[in-house]
Amino acid sequence: MQSTSQAPSVSLPLLWTGRVISALPVLALVMSAVMKFVQPPDVAKGFEHLGWPMSLAIGLGILELTCTVIYVIPQTSVLGAILLTGYLGGATATHVRISDNFVAPIIIGVLVWLGLYLRDPRLRALIPLRW
pLDDT in tens, 22-55: 999 999 999 999 999 999 999 999 999 999 999 9
Q: For all residues of the chain together, what is the average pLDDT?
A: 92
Write the secondary structure of the chain as one string of H (helix), E (strand) and C (coil).
CCCCCCCCCCCHHHHHHHHHHHHHHHHHHHHHHHHHHHCCHHHHHHHHHHCCCHHHHHHHHHHHHHHHHHHHCHHHHHHHHHHHHHHHHHHHHHHHHCCCCCHHHHHHHHHHHHHHHHHCHHHHHHCCCCC
Instruction: Write down the pLDDT at residue 128.
Output: 83
The pLDDT of residue 5:
56
Q: How confident is the model at residue 92 (pLDDT cuts 50, 70, 90)?
A: very high
Share above pLDDT 90 across residues of the chain, in percent, rounded to a whole number: 82
User: In this predicted structure, what is the pLDDT of residue 2?
Assistant: 56
* Per-residue confidence (pLDDT) for residue 10, from 0 to 100: 77
Mean local confidence (pLDDT), 60-70: 98
